[in-house]
Amino acid sequence: MTLLHIENLSLSISGTPILKDISFSLEEGRILGVIGESGSGKSMTAFAIMQLMPSGASTTGQLLVDGLDTLNASENELCKMRGNDVSIVFQEPMTALNPLKNIGEQVAECIMIHEPQTPRGEALNRARSALERCELPESRFPLSLYPHELSGGQRQRVVIALAIALRPKLLIADEPTTALDVTTQAEILTLLRRLVQEDGMGLLLITHDLAVVADMADDIVIMKDGEIVESGDTAFVFQRMQHPYTRALYEASGHIPERTPTQSMSPILSVKEVVRDYRLPRKKLFAAPEHFRAVDGASFEIFKGESLGLVGESGCGKSTLTRAILGLEAVQGGEIRLNDAPIGPGHTMGPEIRSKMQAVFQDPYGSFNPRHRVDRLISEPLHLLDSPPAGSERSDVISNALREVGLSAEDQFKYIHEFSGGQRQRIAIARALIIQPDLILLDEATSALDVSIRAQILDLLAELAASHGLTYLFISHDLSVVRSITDRVLVMKSGKIVEEGATDQVLSQPKNEYTKTLIDAAPMLP
Amino acid sequence: MAHYVLTRLLSLAISLIVASIVIFALIEIIPGDPAAFMLGINAQEDTVAALRSELGLDASPVARYFEWVGGMVTGDFGTSYTYRTPVTEMIGERLWISLPLALIALALSTLIAFPVGILAASRRGSMTDTVIMGFTQLGVAIPNFWFAMLMVLVFAINLRWFSAGGFPGWDEGLVAGLKALTLPAVSLALPQASILARVMRSALVDTLDEDFMRTARAKGLTRGQAIKRHALRNAMIPVLTIIGLQFSFLLAGAIIIENVFFLPGLGRLIFQAISQRDLIVVESVVMLLVFAVIVVNFAVDIAYAIVDPRLRRQA
Amino acid sequence: MSTYRNLVFGGLLSGVFICAALISFLWVPYDIEALNIAERMRTPTAAHPLGTDHFGRDILSMVMIGARTSIAVALVAVGIGMGLGVPLGLAAAANKGSILDELIGRGNDLVFAFPSLLIAILITATFGPSAVNAIIAIGIFNIPVFARLTRGSALSLWKREFIMAARVSGKNSLRISVEHILPNLANLLIVQGTIQFSLAILAEAALSYVGLGAQPPTPSWGRMLADSQTMISLAPHLALAPGLAIVFTVLGLNLLGDGLRDIFDPRLRRGRS
């Protein structure tokens, strides 16, 4: 029987069209992948199915959920449907749970709402077994735990537990693993697959990641700007790739920029036995505070002209190490040297050393002071020079930097909000380039971008490395990006570097157990 | 939890000690000798000296500070310079007017503000919301003592429902006492209720936009159920902060309102004491009020921990 | 349209009183130091639009000059609060977790334990009542308000990546505070400033009412209300003019603050609709 039937659905919010004439359907026991980049309307489709749309939304067309016409259903009917027949798992597990209620209560609430005659103890028992099905056994995860006591992946399991507590017929998962690490992502996807099999639910899996759906979905729908561009059986769609957008998306996902690796044996940066301890808040009033070792004896070198990857999951210490290398934080042991000069916060590091190293950060929106114009933004590092260029010399330097990253000289007179995410990341690269550094740290610099934009930025980085003889330290959680742009790679876990070697070799024949787990967990395109 | 309470208690103690030093030091640098002031200009040198030693004013400041603090800990606030009666007694009498006044006003403002704020937030953007917000905007702008004067004009002078001021004493019965405190409490409470209602509304509106509210709706809770079960407790966190701050404003407000209604509370006492240079009374009453504020803020901190498990299990 | 309603209405309302205060320096309808017992306690007439008080002084002139007192006291007090509180908050945020941060935090807590009226009482008991002491009392109370606000907002800015970028460019924390943090707090501070300004007007009125503020013969709204109280059954209009002046000024400033916030922070504006 058809579980979800959408026909000619259009949706607009305050007059702006978001969805245009969408049609697809989903049968019981099947997994349908909905793929699209940001702004494609894929999440809004999920909200429309649940009828949890922002105010000002209006819809036309037909939307049948297990026979119920949700566009015309009463609020009462919808409340009965939500959580009972249809459940949803959202992207952000860190904020999806009420911080003030324990996990047992939150899962049991689902049951008590839909079956009010259930005694509390009975509801808690059922909550317990739902959590157990989601691999949160009571022995290790008692119902009395609060969300803040769980990791992101564990919280997502709680969200899934409350979604499946009443064994719904349809489960919607909206980017359920985007906020999670790759190994956690693999576990959550396996869990979802198992639940679909056990309960015979239909699963609507919404994601931006082609590789995730390729692994899991029976059918896929590819969306762009609120329209469906291609749909059908997964294997068939991947084989045929009829629509140019599908092809572009596919190519961008596995894009490898052209680069010529340069071999050099002169180290530009050396990290020796670096240790970084954090003091934890006191647990007891009069006890000495405990310490957390974020970086634990890390050692490596970066050679001139190479591109080195640093891979690890969240909390592995790679961000801390990055800040230490940038000379923003003191280290408790070991030393970091750039061009043989010591690195450290404050006066340890003169401007002439600092000017040899720049960074590009993850968030294209948070990386710029919104009150400054682009010329001021990208010329900030010039502050490190003894006599910064002024007047026409300054505007030449700025125009040049902008042109090098594929923007126009005119863009220096604009403010940052006038640019898209990809353009902002180009501006961030221009800011790093302007002082002609030897080494650029790219801290998750492409992680926040859509795949097609990411491919363009990777190309730009490869080009600049060739033309300027730049050295990169590429910090990322994303193996596919590291694979495409680095010569060597370091794998970091719990503050230690557990494996090091040529990228191709490490990724194809990992020696370390953890590296193997990472590689196995990463979803692959067919 | 124990660790949390312990650290809060420690910070309470430190605040009290520092506050007492500040108050004592300020009173200490007041020019003029209370003994000379009390005896008038024509007093003999040796009479003043005798009074000074009788009042304990000839000891060193440090010794007097410790005597003052030591006395307060045992409930002995010293002896009034002017009336020669124990300050503890004077304060005790007046506290039974000021404290009920502040507490009734606090209860009243909370009772009004909560439903009003919740109603406005849950009907955000509606006519109800606009009207409520308009009234609270006005309420915030009205000085409480002026509001009190208007209340006297309407309810005491024109309608004669209440007396315009004074206090019959609790001996006259609970009803008579409460009746005398009604107008003062209402005029204290209404402007405060406006502030609290606005805070309640904005805290709730912020909470309604949280992700977990979407989760609650996706579980099948109605809008009302979701607000009741998930939003209210989360919105209480900022509201508690304001209630803590409000208590100190209510105490200060009570001092002023007592003047409007001629209530013989701590407010009247402190102004009399200032004009008579009865410094021991001034410093004791100020210390008592500061003590009340600090203790209420400690209670608010504990309330945070009861509401929010993240604080409770911090340790 | 409704975005600007608060701003325009609030601006006009508070503007009227600010103008009245400014005009009073050049001209008032009557000399308020000249007593005219024959004309005392008049209800509003064409010659005295707001009536006269128990000394026969023109209430309109008194309210105009009273606006001057209120606004001057509030302006200086908020100036003290901002001038000291903002740098303290910036310093605390730039040195988060340091002893300086801890000291500033403790100091804030301590001042919050003394409502401005208690500070005024202590200062008055020490130095005697005057407008200057009222300014100091209200000003001291404003310091932690701005220090806390600045620290909290600055801390979240310090976590942003553009601050990281500035640090990578070798800028020290003082320079970053001035160049990057402060300009991004300006909107917030302006909004809080208007709110504190209105609170200061209320506080000044309360202090003057209990005789701890401006001393006679300087007219102030709070004193006018205190004077009118004994005659409230005979001449209620005496209590009306200064009271409404306070309400309208404070209301105007609050609306202005709301309007500014709506414009500065589009996120909040969306939340309202």
CA nearest to A89 within chain B: B215
Residue A522: pLDDT band with limits 50, 70, 90: confident
Q: Chain A contact for B307, CB < 8 A?
A: yes
Q: Chain B contact for A127, CB < 8 A?
A: no
- Using the predicted structure, report yes or no on whether residue A197 has a pLDDT greater than 60: yes
pLDDT of residue B31: 62
Would the CB atoms of C239 and B153 count as touching at under 8 Å? Answer: yes
Q: Which residues in chain C have Cβ-Cβ distances shorter than 8 Å to A355?
A: 170
Q: Chain A contact for C271, CB < 8 A?
A: no
B115 & B23 share domain: no
Q: Average of pLDDT values for A52-73?
A: 89
Give percent of chain C above pLDDT 90. Answer: 26
Residue A20: pLDDT band with limits 50, 70, 90: very high
Which residue among C162, C168, C171 sits closest to A368, beta carbon to beta carbon?
C162
At the fourth CATH level, which superfamily is domain C2-23+69-272?
A: MetI-like (1.10.3720.10)
Q: Average of pLDDT values for C162-166?
A: 91
Q: Write the DSSP assignment of chain C as a string of letters.
A: -HHHHHHHHHHHHHHHHHHHHHHHHH--SS-TTS--GGGTTPPP-SSSTT-B-TT--BHHHHHHHHHHHHHHHHHHHHHHHHHHHHHHHHHHHHTTTSHHHHHHHHHHHHHHTS-HHHHHHHHHHHH---HHHHHHHHHHHHHHHHHHHHHHHHHHHHTSHHHHHHHHTT--HHHHIIIIIHHHHHHHHHHHHHHHHHHHHHHHHHHHHTTSSSPTTS--HHHHHHHHHTTTTT-THHHHHHHHHHHHHHHHHHHHHHHHHHHH-HHHHHHH-
Q: Chain A contact for C156, CB < 8 A?
A: no
B136 & B186 share domain: yes
Would the CB atoms of B256 and C243 count as touching at under 8 Å? Answer: no
CA nearest to A55 within chain C: C273
pLDDT of residue A282: 67
Find the domain containing B279 and state its range. Answer: 88-308
Would the CB atoms of A50 and B233 count as touching at under 8 Å? Answer: no
Q: What mean pLDDT, rounded, does chain A reach?
A: 90
Residue B189: pLDDT band with limits 50, 70, 90: very high
Compute the half-sphere exposure of residue B1: CA atoms within 13 Å on the CB side of its CA.
9
pLDDT of residue B93: 85
B126 & B254 share domain: yes
Q: Chain B contact for C230, CB < 8 A?
A: no
Q: Chain C contact for B156, CB < 8 A?
A: no
pLDDT of residue B270: 87
For residue B177, give the CATH number of its domain. Answer: 1.10.3720.10
How many domains, in total, are found in chain B?
A: 2
C115/chain B closest Cα distance in angstroms: 6
- Using the predicted structure, report yes or no on whether residue B314 has a pLDDT greater than 60: no
- Using the predicted structure, report yes or no on whether residue B30 has a pLDDT greater than 70: no
B64 & B187 share domain: no
B244 & B106 share domain: yes
Give alpha helix (H) positions in chain B.
2-28, 34-39, 45-55, 61-73, 87-122, 127-141, 144-151, 174-208, 211-218, 223-226, 232-261, 266-275, 279-307, 309-312
* Closest-CA residue to A516 (of A502, A498, A525, A526): A498
Q: Average of pLDDT values for B101-125?
A: 92
pLDDT of residue B228: 92
Q: Which of residues 172-231 of B touch A (CB under 8 A)?
A: 210-212, 214-222, 225, 229-230
Distance CA B92, CA B86 (A): 10
Copy the structure tokens of residue A451: 């795949």
Q: Where in chain A is the domain with CATH 3.40.50.300?
A: 262-348+440-446+463-526
Copy the structure tokens of residue B228: 């009741």
Q: Chain A contact for C1, CB < 8 A?
A: no
Which residue among A96, A113, A281 sits closest to B212, beta carbon to beta carbon?
A96
> How many other CB atoms sit within 10 Å of the CB of residue B60?
8
Q: Which of residues 48-107 of C touch B (CB under 8 A)?
A: 106
pLDDT of residue C239: 83
Q: Average of pLDDT values for A128-150?
A: 93
Strand A291-303's sheet: what is its strand order? A291-303, A267-279, A333-338, A341-342
Task: Name the residue with tokens 């309302």.
Answer: C13
Phi and psi torsions of A471, nearest 5°: -110, 135
pLDDT in tens, B51-82: 777 777 777 888 888 888 888 888 887 778 77
B179 & B304 share domain: yes
> Is the pLDDT higher at C253 or at A283?
C253
Q: Which residues in chain B have Cβ-Cβ distances shorter than 8 Å to A163?
A: 218
Residue C268: pLDDT band with limits 50, 70, 90: very low
Copy the structure tokens of residue A28: 């019981």
Interface mutation target, options A380, A382, A384, A442, chain C, most CBs of C under 10 Å: A380
Q: Parallel, antiparallel, or unpaired for β A202-207 and A307-311?
A: unpaired
Q: What is the count of residue pairs from A and B with beta carbons less than 8 Å apart?
A: 83
> Is the pLDDT higher at A524 or at C221?
C221
Beta-carbon contacts of residue B118 (< 8 Å; ≥ 6 apart): B200, B201, B204, B227, B232
Q: Chain A contact for B93, CB < 8 A?
A: no
Q: Average of pLDDT values for A414-438?
A: 92
Strand A227-233's sheet: what is its strand order? A86-89, A170-174, A202-207, A31-35, A219-224, A227-233
Give percent of chain B above pLDDT 70. Answer: 94
Asked if B184 contacts B257 with a C-beta cutoff of 8 angstroms, the reply is: yes
C contact chains, 3+ CB pairs < 8 A: A, B
Given B43, B73, B103, the domain boundary residue is: B73
Phi and psi torsions of B9, nearest 5°: -65, -40
B141 & B223 share domain: yes
- Using the predicted structure, report yes or no on whether residue C214 has a pLDDT greater than 70: yes
Q: Which of A219-228, B172-181, C39-48, C260-269 has the lowest mean pLDDT?
A: C260-269
User: Which amino acid makes up residue B25?
Assistant: A
pLDDT of residue A437: 93
Statement: A262-348+440-446+463-526 belongs to CATH 3.40.50.300: yes
Would the CB atoms of B149 and C123 count as touching at under 8 Å? Answer: no
A contact chains, 3+ CB pairs < 8 A: B, C
pLDDT of residue B276: 80
Would the CB atoms of C168 and A367 count as touching at under 8 Å? Answer: no
CA nearest to A106 within chain B: B216
> What separation in angstroms does the CA of A450 have from each of A207, A347, A463, A474, C200?
11, 39, 20, 18, 51
Length of chain C: 273
Q: Write the DSSP assignment of A474-509 as a string of letters.
A: EEES-HHHHHHH-SEEEEEETTEEEEEEEHHHHHHS
Q: Chain A contact for C162, CB < 8 A?
A: yes
Interface mutation target, options C156, C163, C168, chain A, most CBs of A under 10 Å: C168
B192 & B283 share domain: yes
> What separation in angstroms does the CA of A262 have from each of A266, A470, A482, A490, A499?
12, 10, 17, 18, 22
Would the CB atoms of A369 and C169 count as touching at under 8 Å? Answer: no
Domain ranges across chain C:
2-23+69-272
Burial of C201 (C-beta count, 10 Å sphere; 0-12/13-18/19+):
buried
pLDDT in tens, A273-320: 999 988 877 666 566 777 888 999 899 999 998 999 999 988 899 989
pLDDT in tens, A345-363: 766 778 888 999 999 998 8
Interface pTM (ipTM) of the complex?
0.85
Q: What mean pLDDT, rounded, does chain C reach?
A: 84
Q: Which residues in chain A have Cβ-Cβ distances shorter than 8 Å to B311?
A: none
Which residue among C160, C171, C183 sits closest to A383, beta carbon to beta carbon?
C171
